[in-house]
Structure 1
């Protein structure tokens, strides 16, 4: 008989169990950075909950107060879901994890819960599971980003995205990587950008966000934790192959000379 349980990680458990993403490469820089990042965020109230089915990892969810979130959204008083992953669909794992977040939001007297989705990449949670659990689509942003909310009060101010995305991009002409270590795959994504730029002898400026204020002020997308900009245009907000990096950079370099 299946036994499903949820384990909420803390500093001590993280040391023994570790986070789930990139777990197959525990010695990688990305995995180490993610666990270090989690250790620092627990003090801010971040929740990282693993779901186990017969002691086997079956899913996890990560969420925190909007005021400490790695997503670019105005949502003070809400919880923000960073990540949701399950090993199999159709077993109710995702709903269990979402309900855990909603229960915490109620206990903390939050205005509700928000999540950012994007159908063009697997780097964000899938929109469908949230719509199934009564979240509402309330805002959109360039590059197919969507803001969904589960309100816990009809009187609460609704969260919203900034509206100056184009102006943010224009601040950067040189090839620039903006990043946070909330996702362990950021390191791999960075390495591919560096390798592609090196093939074309294009210098890269690397900016690591030190706090939420920097992220809210400079990130050119709601995703927040990884953006690559060149000549005022967004190259990507997720991992690309080295070949794709070279192709995109060549196109932009060529166009700028025309």
Structure 2
């Protein structure tokens, strides 16, 4: 199986597995713009040569859009192999490529956001632990920072302090998000309009720089929804799911 690495030269023509559509789709356009901006910061997006969700995205932790302290580590943004490719060894292939590349670049290890049990949009803890990842740090209500050290006595990565107990000072609904996940480009405006039509206080705040994301109030910067200061969910909501929250 060939692995394709996205570059500035092939980004325009290659499909991105997490948002399969043409380049005029708002999700594809947003994600490709975000990738293009991060390539100079060391972002790597590698995908198997198949038509579907089968890729890994990682970046030097110092440049990660995440509130973590993990000097000289590589931070995995996303490892996604969809169901139709399960059991074919693609997850191992992609992770092994990330490990090989990270070691070649002199990194101390890998770090990735997960949870004690599988949660939407977070990396699968069962698979990661099977591959040797262990817990480096935790944050409320269910986040775990897992890491795979390449050397003995490597310093553990950790969450930045402000993200360990997610909260905000604002009233009403507050959503922090980025275009690192392409689905936000479609679904954030939908629930924003729904809230406006229902007269519900709602503020959407998009992080546009790594510095903003690194100072986020919650570990998952692609999407974190709060209500009256309390963290609600990191799941990217459809209109139907947001209406259910409003009803509750």
TM-score normalized by structure 2?
A: 0.89
Which residue of structure 2 aligns with residue 10 of structure 1?
A: 7
Which residue of structure 1 aligns with residue 187 of structure 2?
A: 189
Comparing 70-79 with 59-68, greater Cα deviation is found at 70-79
Comparing 151-160 with 233-242, greater Cα deviation is found at 233-242
Comparing 116-125 with 184-193, greater Cα deviation is found at 116-125
Q: 2:50 matched to 1:59?
A: no
Q: Is the 8 A contact 1:171 1:232 kept in 2?
A: yes
Comparing 59-68 with 118-127, greater Cα deviation is found at 118-127
Residues 44 and 121 of structure 1, relative CA distance in 2, 3 Å threshold: same
For the aligned residue pairs, the C-alpha RMSD in angstroms reads 2.1
Which residue of structure 2 aligns with residue 39 of structure 1?
A: 36
Q: Is the 8 A contact 1:192 1:245 kept in 2?
A: no
Shift of 1:250: 5.0
Shift of 1:116: 0.8
Residues 241 and 18 of structure 1, relative CA distance in 2, 3 Å threshold: closer
Shift of 1:26: 4.1
Q: Is the 8 A contact 2:3 2:47 kept in 1?
A: yes
Count residues in correspondence: 245
Q: 2:76 matched to 1:103?
A: no
Output aligned runs, 1:89-238, within 5 Å: 89-118=86-115, 119-165=117-163, 169-217=167-215, 219-238=216-235
**Structure 2: gaps (5+ residues):** none
Shift of 1:168: 5.2
- Between Structure 1 and Structure 2, which shows a larger proportion of helix residues? 1
- The CA distance in 1 between the partners of 2:219 and 2:22, in whole Å, is 28
Aligned residue among 69, 75, 88 for 2:70: 75
**Structure 1: gaps (5+ residues):** 252-258
- The CA distance in 1 between the partners of 2:179 and 2:172, in whole Å, is 22
Shift of 1:20: 1.5
DSSP-derived class of the 1:113 partner: strand
Aligned residue among 21, 25, 29 for 1:24: 21
Which residue of structure 1 aligns with residue 242 of structure 2?
A: 245
Q: Is the 8 A contact 2:118 2:124 kept in 1?
A: no
- The CA distance in 1 between the partners of 2:34 and 2:72, in whole Å, is 23
DSSP-derived class of the 2:3 partner: strand
